[in-house]
Structure 1
Amino acid sequence: MRKKLLKYHSYLALAALLPIIIISITGSILVFKAEIDQWLMPQVASLNYSPQQSSILERIDHNRLQAHVENSFPGFIIGSWEIFNDGIEADRVFLVKKGSHDWYKVHLDPFSGKILDNPAVMESQLTDWLVSLHYTFLLNGIGHEDSQWGTFIGLVVALIFTFLGISGLIIHRKFWQQLFLLRRGRSIRVFSGDLHRLAGTWSSPVLLILGVTGIYFNTIAYYHEVFEHGDEPHFEPQEKLYGDSVDFQQILLDSQLQLDQFTPTYLLYPFEPEVDITVFGFQASNNPFASNYSSTVNYKAENGDLVLAFDGRKASVTAQVFDSFRELHFGSFAGLASKIAWSFFGLAPFLLALSGFIVWLKRRRKPARIKR
């Protein structure tokens, strides 16, 4: 049984060697996506308010901000709006170009109303390009503009990744007896084998979390694009899809009344027919892994009337587990400490790939030498 499992473990690892290395390196970088954006684009992605200023800042009325964006870019409709109130990160407004399904992004200071850049296609900035590389290997759209080959391959790699983690623990079933054993001064095969076992053992909890959550996100994305949209072409809006009477500032205020301790973090606009206006947000709870999008309040697109308020704290256990996948995958649940840990252990697959390949190569060469 163990020999057969080792065989499958080796062959699948070799088959997914390059994708795993790409996922490992890009994932470790993207843990600090927001910080990298602020470092690379300090005048665009970040706000320069002091802590004293941040404590007294007030957002401009959302209707005014929205009108300013729409008047500045008449060739676009607003698709969604990521809201930040910390005086550190700029709001991110996602736009859909009229007559297409192409998404763009623009940054805005919600306290001064200043638009900080022009609409940029989603993959034009470094970290957004890395997200696409990490998630789809830049393969979506190959052969056909709506193809999802990259998402599908990402799903297969996530399944292999998870299998490798579980099978590795089974192969080294007494791993706890050699948690610190690293034999130096021996052959490169012995050293690589010990390094492979140690890296896999110590990083296995994080890697299994990343594998399972990766399976979930790729499955959801693939199902949405292939089965929900199917052969239907993407909707290409010509004009905004909400009524003129909708008061978005009132919607944001009302959402905080509908749910206890609710803080809006993301405003989804109707960018397709029959899509509600949805306010996503966070509620303080005992769940340390609750995401910033765990609770929602929905409103009708035509007039802004309340449809439904969903309290994420009262959701089913399954729904709360799925919601926690976001924080667990990106390692943001415990601030800087968890992000550093996730970035560090996220490089383990890169180390495992190299050390495992050396062990496999040496194992293959040994019978050849004996035969000669």
Structure 2
Amino acid sequence: MKRKKGRSFWWIVHSWLGLKLSIFLSFILLTGTLAVFAHEIDWLVTPAMRVTPQDAPQASWGKLAEAAARTDPSARLQTLYAPLDPWFAAEAWMDHGKGAPSRVYIDPWTAQVTGTHGWANAHRFLRQVHRHLMLPTKIGIPIVCSLALLLVISLVTGIVTYKKWWRGFLRRPRGGDARRLTGDLHRLGGVWSLWFVALIAVTGIWYLVETLGGNAPVPKLPQVTTLVPLPTKPALDRMVELVRRERPTLQIREIRFTQDNGLIFLGQDQAWLVRDRANGVAIDPSTGRVTMSLDGRDLSVHQRISEMADPLHFGTLGGIATKIIWFVFGALLTALAVTGATIYTLRLAKEGQAVERNLKVAWTGMGAWAYVCTALVLLALALTPGAIVGAS
């Protein structure tokens, strides 16, 4: 009797959380899943981002910077990015002095500008709505990351509720009625996604820790005493060669043209599971002298954990292959959030009941949480134009 009561308690907790917060949880899981391929979505809808890979050496960084600067002489070249994949154009961010920067896309082989674009795109929308609901980060990030705690509770209660869950990996869903089939599919998807739920929950909790004051310090880049104009193409290419002599293993993925710090070259090196910012070389453009060299292998444990969070959370650690895996399991988690609410609805609904009536049953079961979760989603969408287009 005690075991039965214990399982009933865990089941109540699991189903209560899954139902009450299903709207908000489904929204965050869906936007996070789409965010895995946010750049690819932009590639599909923005012709200027698409290029044809060529069997030839790519243009130099200097040529790319020169092409971007020619496009809008009144703007300042802020950042230059290498192509994400061979079929992507290089991207430059142009600073206009106020408001958000604009984007310039450049063919990495011919150094020809393929087009320009504003700041708002699918990547910015999905990143910001998934990360902090377009709200100020100090408010939005804790709200979103609190769902990581929900995932932990759902993980534990799901395992306790599903007796001998380890046998469920190959258990075939039963037919017969919608409630039984939905329940079996929910359990099947749950056991296969256990590792992914744990991963997303742990990284989500880490983001929560960071926003509450536990963030790791980011290395400060050196100051440059003499401000000079942006380097010309030959000068930039010479500095690129200087960086390559200084750090032969550094794969340059980004160049920042900053007013205070000169030139900063960032990318991937020998450290695994770190963001591009963990590896870099800073150069004083007035002297051509290397002022700082960053190596991801020198990070503290605290910093290394911080750098690992993004590659693990969004699945970028292994390129397109891991992104596909993360997308599939992200879609599976979203389906689990939806089927959890569906199971509740089917349990209470009468046989042959209309869909509208079933939805009403689910909405009523959510109680006041239905209005709170829906309000958060609608608020994020309403804030989108100002949060993205008006971003600085």
Amino acid at match of 2:267: G
Q: CA deviation at 1:346?
A: 0.9
Aligned to 2:125: 129
Mapped contact 1:263–1:281 kept (Cα < 8 A): yes
Residue 331 of structure 1: how far off its partner (Å): 2.1
Corresponding residue of 2:23: 18
* CA shift digits 1:308-367 (9 cap, x unpaired): 21222343454444333333222233344322221111111222112211333455679x
Contact 1:282 1:292 in 2 (8 A): yes
Shift of 1:46: 2.2
- Alpha-carbon spacing, 1:164–1:255, altered in 2? closer, same or farther (3 Å): farther
Task: Tell me the TM-score normalised to structure 1 length.
Answer: 0.74
Give me the CA root mean square deviation: 3.6
Contact map agreement 1:60 1:112 (CA 8 A) in 2: no
CA contact under 8 A between 1:290 and 1:320: conserved in structure 2? yes
Provide the C-alpha distance between the structure 2 equivalents of 1:219 and 1:119, rounded to a whole number of angstroms: 35
User: In the alignment, is residue 57 of structure 1 matched against residue 60 of structure 2?
Assistant: no
Q: Once superposed, which parts of structure 1, at least 4 consecutive aligned residues long, lie more than 6 Å away?
A: 221-225
Alpha-carbon distance, 1:103 to partner: 3.2
TM-score, normalising length: structure 2: 0.71
Query: Aligned letter for 1:136?
Result: H
The residue type equivalent to 1:333 in the other structure is L
Q: Residue 53 of structure 2 aligns to which amino acid in structure 1?
A: Y
Worse overlay, 344-353 or 80-89: 80-89
Structure 1 segments unaligned to the other structure (5+ residues): 141-145, 229-240, 367-372
Partner of 1:143: none
| Contact map agreement 1:24 1:348 (CA 8 A) in 2 | no
Q: Name the counterpart of 2:116.
A: 118
The one-letter amino acid paired with 1:79 is Q
Aligned to 1:243: 228
Q: Which has the higher helix share?
A: 2
Of the three residues 333, 337, 340, the one matched with 1:356 is 340
Listed as ranges, the gaps of 5+ residues in structure 2 are 1-5, 219-225, 351-392
Q: Which residue of 2 is the match for residue 96 of structure 1? A: 95
Write the deviation string for residues 197-242 of structure 1: whole angstroms up to 9, x where unpaired.
22111012123222333444566578699xx9xxxxxxxxxxxx95
Shift of 1:264: 0.5
How far 1:152 sits from its partner (Å)? 3.6
Counterpart CA distance in 2 for 1:107 and 1:179 is 46
* Higher normalized contact order (CA 8 Å, seq sep 6+, divided by chain length): 2
Conserved? CA contact 1:283–1:313, under 8 Å: no
Quick check: 1:282 aligned with 2:272?
no
* Residue 307 (str. 1) matches residue 291 (str. 2): yes
**Judging changes above 3 Å, is the alpha-carbon distance between structure 1 residues 364 and 181 closer, same or farther for their aligned structure 2 residues?**
same
**1:61-93 CA-partner distances (Å, limit 9, x unpaired):** 52x543443343244333322113965321111
SS of 1:107's equivalent in the other structure is strand
Q: How far apart are 1:254 and its partner, in Å?
A: 2.5
Q: How many residues of Structure 1 are paired with residues of Structure 2 in the alignment?
A: 334
Distance 1:79-1:180 versus aligned 2 partners, 3 A rule: same
Q: Percent identity?
A: 21
1:194, distance to aligned residue in structure 2 (A):
2.5
Which position in structure 2 is the counterpart of 1:70? 69
Q: Structure 1 residues 258 and 213 mapped into 2: Cα distance closer, same or farther (>3 Å)?
A: farther
| 1:308/1:84 CA distance change after superposition, 3 Å | same
**1:91·1:110 contact (CA, 8 Å) conserved in 2?**
yes
Alignment of 1:221-232 (within 5 A): none
